[in-house]
Amino acid sequence: MKAIRKFTVRAVLPGPLAALEELAGNLRWSWHEPTRQLFERIAPELWREIGADPVALLGAVDPRRLDELAQDHDYVAQVESTRDGLRDYLDRPRWYQGLEGEKPAAIAYFSPEFGIAAALPQYSGGLGILAGDHLKSASDLGLPLVGVGLFYRAGYFSQAISPDGWQMESYPLLDPDGLPLAVLRRADGSAVQVSLALPDDRTLHARVWQAKVGRVRLLLLDADIPENADDLRLVTDRLYGGGGEHRLLQELLLGIGGARAVKLWSSLHGLPEPDVFHTNEGHAGFLGLERISSLIGEGLNFQEALQVARAGTVFTTHTPVAAGIDRFERSLVRRYFGTDLLPGVDVEDLLALGAESYSGGSSEVFNMAVMGLRLGQHANGVSTLHGEVSRRMFNGLWPGFDSADVPITSITNGVHAQSWTDPALKSLANAKLGTSDTSTANWASPDVSDQDLWSVRGQMRLQFVEDARRRLHNAWRDQNPGGIPPAWMGRVFDPNVLTIGFARRVPTYKRLTLMLHDPERLRALLLHPEHPIQIVIAGKSHPADEEGKRLIQKIVQFAADPALRTRIAFLPDYNIAMAQLMYPGTDVWLNNPLRPLEACGTSGMKAALNGALNLSILDGWWPEYYDGKNGWAIPSADSAGDSAERDRLEAEALYDLIEHQVAPTFYERNGDDVPERWVSNIRHTLSTLSPALSADRMVSEYVQRLYRPAGHYEALMSANNYRAARELAAWKGRIVSAWPQVAVTHVESGGVSSVPEVGDELHLRAHVQLGGLVAEDVTVEVVYGKSVGTDELRDVVNQALEPVLVKEAPAGGATLFTGTVELDRAGTFGYTVRVVPKNDLLISPAEMGLVAVAG
């Protein structure tokens, strides 16, 4: 495929329509229905053909049509009032402005990908869509947040499927001038650049694109500029393209270049620099080192600077799958940082941050997630289950602690309701419930009848079926230029048949082909005489993942069977535009990952927001929200002998659920042909899940549970010329060197009757060797709970013991700590006594990974 360089000539709008340019220039149009409709009205066919893209539409439309609309007073008035509405949205105080108390002045949100709209394809999958939704909700809620990412010249790849079912990738180049982006410039008009020193006296330069996402700015760094050597222009060629060094260069640019770009951007706009940095997955982790380097420039040493950087950094881990975590050769990292890249930072200090210094770790690699956790005092997973899994997975960084003590919390993902709810459902809410905010509408109200809900669901299914046929036709024409598509393609899917959707990236753990486990059984479900189902499948396999491509091929080959091809189809090139029609158009959203490898999963959330019911393994977000009425849980055969056995058991459970529960309920109709039970489940799903799954809930949780604490600790560290950071660094140094001598030498207990019973008191006296530390440096605590197995406690309570102050601590002797535990529960009681460092600037007793436990 030739790499055609294109450029876009922007239209000159007639005077009365000038406001359209302002509307097209802010991506808020991507979730604001009235603005979308204004653009659609210009040229409905073109709007559909180009795919909802105002900038492209204005460039492509016949200027005579614009002149005509400029004469249409009604249209002009609407354009102007919509523009006024946008300005009002941008200026008016919102949720964040009303928050009482201390809060961050600015938050920088880093991600390697952002999926905001089909018109700005800078994403590959879930992480990108999530980042896009985070920015949109941050805008709606009024957060002072700025997004930071890279601008990829080809984005992720476009997918086509060969006649024998093999995935083919192409990388159409994007022209940034044809996108809703503007170069970041100084007041004198010169373009801002950031530069990174590389080995061999080379330099990587990047310009900075800005996108307006409502009130939020997104900065995208772009290395494809003439100032760079040819090979360096390719650093931002594509998303997750190369491995090793190419990936490292991208991450250096994202983290270090991104932090520099935010600083420049803030100062150009007279805005405060961010006090909170949120890094998503390890990819942007180098941003913490850039901050450390600049603090060293202010006179701090490495450890002091680290305290400041940690305090203000939030690290979110997004996957428990090892392949999702970046690891570089240490020698490569050493080569890149043994330069002037980060003035003042010793490469050995840096390497220590990414070292897998735990059992099972490799001494050859530099692990970006590990560095992320060491550079971020505040860390989280993305669902309750993923939080637990992450605490276990990273337990090695906090040796001696139980996984429950590992300081990684969780905030369950959410999705941006305005972006992911079909306009038909919004207008139903508008007409019957008086609000177009479907996530807060009262769907339980009788003002919306069963018939209303069912008919909107039918409309959305039909719209999807038509889109699927169009896509199949287009894909066929691309491969057979000039030919006439076969007639059966016009009959793919039936707008009245129970429709099951399955679309996501194709890593092995998502088990794209589980449904093919017993082909005859699947065939019978598809062709059932009374209760037929149909299945739509989509998803991209990473270009380097041959196994993923084989899975796609299996599906495509199965679906080629003439008896089945109108009931099951693989749609090529899964993307936002397809997803926006697919989620509302499916009745059931299927997800069958290998538990617990799905960190959260958001496609099922988007489906639920449109009234689809989920049929899923209890993984990711589903165990938190499945309630027996909003869908079905496929039982996981966790204890199966091997993976083949597990697949077999789970596939059979899936078939059974579809055959005996899902399909019969869908086809059980009343006299008006409405499936009452099904509709009642839809209503229940809309009214309970919509608010819970919305990105507004997620972003407000980030504010309250992570951004505010991060801002608080960063302010504490920075006050009075970083006094607390200097003190904390010195204190930590003292604790770390004394710790090998700290020990609980002896614990005496008493007070409990010979046959212990509820109400008894357990008196504890712990003799603790402080190794030169003082009692205030530590917490000596009893950790007790219900004892299960050999070394596990449940329902754990931590209770501090008090030092018994004697006039003079015996030289070299132990200090006595005492306390009393009341036995208030029957059952097997277990306890242990331990010593942990104590400092108000630590957010968790486990934070330093130091503990001394009674022997």
User: Contact residues for ligand PLP (CB under 6 A)?
Assistant: 125-126, 129, 504, 574-576, 579, 601-603, 606
In the bound state, the residue with its beta carbon closest to ligand PLP is: 603
Give the closest residue to 419 by CA, choosing from 184, 215, 583, 204. Answer: 583
Q: Quick check: 124 and 239 in contact, CB under 8 A?
A: yes
Residue closer to ligand PLP by CB (options 358, 509) is 509
Kind of pairing between the strands at 378-381 and 313-316: parallel
> Least distance in Å: CB of 89 to ligand PLP?
24
Q: How far is CA 193 from CA 165, 282, 449, 817, in A?
A: 44, 24, 57, 59
Q: How does DSSP assign 321-347, residue by residue?
A: -GGGS-EEEHHHHHHHHSSSSSTT--H
Give the closest residue to 245 by CA, choosing from 319, 335, 317. Answer: 335
Residue closer to ligand PLP by CB (options 576, 793) is 576
Residue closer to ligand PLP by CB (options 130, 216) is 130
Q: How many CB atoms lie within 10 A of CB 393?
A: 20
Q: Quick check: 9 and 59 in contact, CB under 8 A?
A: yes
Residue closer to ligand PLP by CB (options 287, 579) is 579
In angstroms, the CA 514 to CA 506 distance is 12
Residues 6+ apart with CB under 8 A from 287: 108, 110, 254, 255, 256, 258, 259, 277, 279
Beta bridge partners of 852: 835
Residue closer to ligand PLP by CB (options 213, 249) is 213
Residue closer to ligand PLP by CB (options 125, 414) is 125
394 residue type, one letter: F
750 residue type, one letter: G
Q: Report residue 257: phi and psi, to 5°.
A: -60, -40
Give the closest residue to 710 by CA, choosing from 288, 322, 419. Answer: 288
> Least distance in Å: CB of 42 to ligand PLP?
26
Q: Quick check: 272 and 105 in contact, CB under 8 A?
A: yes
> Least distance in Å: CB of 597 to ligand PLP?
11
Q: Quick check: 282 and 111 in contact, CB under 8 A?
A: no
Residue 127, CB-side half-sphere exposure with 13 Å CA sphere? 24
Residue closer to ligand PLP by CB (options 127, 657) is 127
Rounded to the nearest 5 degrees, what angle is found at the Cα of 707, between the Cα atoms of 704 and 708?
A: 60
Residue closer to ligand PLP by CB (options 601, 771) is 601
> Least distance in Å: CB of 460 to ligand PLP?
16
> Least distance in Å: CB of 715 to ligand PLP?
35
Q: Quick check: 516 and 553 in contact, CB under 8 A?
A: no
Residue closer to ligand PLP by CB (options 439, 575) is 575
Residue closer to ligand PLP by CB (options 383, 566) is 383
> Least distance in Å: CB of 281 to ligand PLP?
14
> Least distance in Å: CB of 221 to ligand PLP?
23
> Least distance in Å: CB of 705 to ligand PLP?
22
In angstroms, the CA 128 to CA 142 distance is 21
> Least distance in Å: CB of 540 to ligand PLP?
8
> Least distance in Å: CB of 50 to ligand PLP?
18
Residue closer to ligand PLP by CB (options 504, 732) is 504
Residue closer to ligand PLP by CB (options 593, 709) is 593
Q: How many CB atoms lie within 10 A of CB 563?
A: 9
Kind of pairing between the strands at 158-161 and 145-150: unpaired
Residue 730: helix, strand or coil by DSSP? helix
End-to-end CA distance of the chain: 68
Residue closer to ligand PLP by CB (options 294, 685) is 685
Residue closer to ligand PLP by CB (options 366, 622) is 622
In angstroms, the CA 513 to CA 537 distance is 10
> Least distance in Å: CB of 324 to ligand PLP?
12
> Least distance in Å: CB of 157 to ligand PLP?
13
Q: How does DSSP assign 778-842, residue by residue?
A: EEEEEEEEEEETTTEEEEEEEEEPEE---SSPPTT-PEEEEEEEE--S-S-EEEEEEEEE--TT-
Give the closest residue to 779 by CA, choosing from 844, 693, 719, 697. Answer: 844
Give the closest residue to 220 by CA, choosing from 302, 141, 150, 314. Answer: 150
> Least distance in Å: CB of 34 to ligand PLP?
23
In angstroms, the CA 699 to CA 625 distance is 18
Residue closer to ligand PLP by CB (options 471, 504) is 504
> Least distance in Å: CB of 129 to ligand PLP?
4
> Least distance in Å: CB of 119 to ligand PLP?
13
Check residue 493 and give left, alpha or beta (phi > 0: left; psi -120 to 50: alpha): left
Name the DSSP class of 172. Answer: P
